[in-house]
Amino acid sequence: MAGPLRTLALLGATGSIGGSTLDVVARHPGRFRIGALTANGRVEELLALCESFRPDAAVVADETAWPALREGLAARGLATRALAGAAALEEVAADPANDTVVAAIVGAAGMASTLAAARAGKRILLANKESVVLAGDLLLQAAREGGATLLPVDSEHNAIFQCLPADGGRQGVRRLLLTASGGPFRGRRREDLAAVTPAQACAHPNWSMGPKISVDSATLMNKGLEVIEARHLFGLPPERIEVVVHPQSVIHSLVDYIDGSVLAQLGNPDMRTALAHGLAWPERIDSGVAPLDLPALARFDFEKPDLDAFPCLGLAYRAMAAGGSAPAALNAANEVAVSGFLQGRLGFLDIPVLIQACLDAHAGGPADSLGHLLEVDADTRRRAGQLMAGMERR
Ligand code: NAD
Ligand code: MG
């Protein structure tokens, strides 16, 4: 029997997660409808999606793209409303017409809309990990108060969610084990990483993803952000969240229980599994992902992360231990550093140097004030920008 008809606001529709979500949605006509699609500024891509999915509203975050969106919708004879700007992202995230919000904008740019969805009590498929790192306590509080359901779709967190006790408790849980692929540079020494290019960093061995998270995977900052994300979503202390490198990316994460049982969720590395799980939960639907062929895989490998070659993971643990607004500083510095690397302004090894300098300079502060966190985010971006300008001139 088909579950309830759900109406989705898909934030970040033109991205990698956006595309995977729409692929699953298209497999289940009659079960999901698209209430809103959003993009940053890629109007042509957004228009093509509007043509296929006929949303009630389409939003471009970049207001200068609004005329092209409006005209493009009219030229296609679509009744979709054209909206623009940050407020419009929050508007569709909180719109009573949409019961489900897929939070798939990249970076802290997704925070306000994710928070708006939490306050409005939506079912939230949470991909935008940066908003959890930046303001996890406030986001969870808003979800509690607003009556929202947070469904993790980051593959590791989705795996853990599936392996935790069904009653939502933590009884008997000893540790969470987050798996990491190790990224494209696994096994290399730090000195071998000085000259790697953005194209090499984005060529992930197992996953096809947007550029920012691809670089995060190459530096292991992605795993660092995910440890902080897990701490918030699952409420376990840092010393009970461990990272193990598993290059095949088939075991998506594990939960270790005190009786020695270790439960894992496995699957081919394809985000459509986690997205289908979040879309239909607590039911199961087809995602289009091929069944796992264990004999073809033949083996699973595990190793410890190399914190010397990939210091970003250690920096994330440091920010998590410092607590308060330190993870917000970590995230902002990382966003600036990654964008600098992608633009060819910074070397790969400069990424952790820049982040460490920003953490060293961070004065601390609480995590329970959105104003303070946004100030830390803005201040850190400014500082990181200045530091980057200095590093470029070397
Ligand atoms: P992407 O770069 O492919 O897509 C990002 C989307 O966000 C695009 O639709 C873009 O238009 C929109 N966007 C970018 N900047 C924006 C801004 N300033 N304002 C509004 N919208 C903006 O990224 P992605 O790989 O799809 O990742 C999206 C999020 O999901 C990230 O937080 C990432 O960490 C997380 N995630 C991704 C994957 C994956 O497999 N791609 C896996 C787990 C988690
Ligand atoms: Mg992940």
Compute, in angstroms, the gap from residue 157 CA to the centroid of ligand 2.
7
Quick check: is 162 in a domain?
A: no
Instruction: Give the burial class of 187: count Cβ atoms within 10 A of its Cβ; 0-12 exposed, 13-18 middle, 19 or more buried.
Output: exposed
Best of 16, 215, 223, 271 to mutate for ligand 1, by most ligand atoms within 8 A of CB? 16
**CATH number of the domain enclosing 67:** 3.40.50.720
Please report the pLDDT score of residue 393 as a whole number: 64
Tell me: the pLDDT tens digits for 296-335? 999 999 999 999 999 999 999 999 999 999 999 999 999 9
Query: How would you write the pLDDT of the chain (394 residues) with one tens digit per residue?
Result: 578 899 999 999 999 999 999 999 999 999 999 999 999 999 999 999 999 999 999 999 999 999 999 999 999 999 999 999 999 999 999 999 999 999 999 999 999 999 999 999 999 999 999 999 999 999 999 999 999 999 999 999 999 999 999 898 999 999 999 999 999 999 999 999 999 999 999 998 888 899 999 999 999 999 999 999 999 999 999 999 999 999 999 999 999 999 999 999 999 999 999 999 999 999 999 999 999 999 999 999 999 999 999 999 999 999 999 999 999 999 999 999 999 999 999 999 999 999 999 999 999 999 999 999 999 999 999 999 999 999 986 6
- Residue 181 located in a structural domain: no
Domain-embedded: residue 278: no
Residue 356 included in any domain: no
Strand duo 149-152 + 123-126: pairing = parallel
Does 160 map to a domain? Answer: no
- Structural domain contains residue 316: no
From 316, 307, 322, 303, select the one nearest 367 (Cα to Cα): 322
Number of domains in the chain: 1
Three-state SS sequence of 237-252 = CHHHEEEEECCCCCEE
Is 329 within the bounds of a domain?
Answer: no
Pocket flag, ligand 1, residue 207 (CB < 6 Å): yes
The residue range of the domain holding 21 is 6-152
Q: State whether the beta carbon of 14 lies less than 6 angstroms from ligand 1.
A: yes
Residue 37 in contact with ligand 1 by CB distance below 6 A: no
Question: In degrees rounded to 5, what are phi and psi of residue 153?
Answer: -115, 0
Decide if 64 is inside a domain: yes
Residues measured by CB to lie within 5 Å of ligand 2, the ion: 154-156
How wide is the angle at C-alpha 58 spanned by C-alphas 69 and 270, nearest 5°? Answer: 115
Q: 185-191 long-range contacts, Cβ below 8 Å, gap at least 24?
A: 185/218, 185/309, 185/310, 186/245, 186/247, 188/309, 189/309, 190/308, 190/309, 190/349
- Read off the tokens for 186: 């696994």
Distance 186 CA to ligand 2 centre (A): 16
**Measured from the CB, is residue 16 less than 6 Å from ligand 1?**
yes
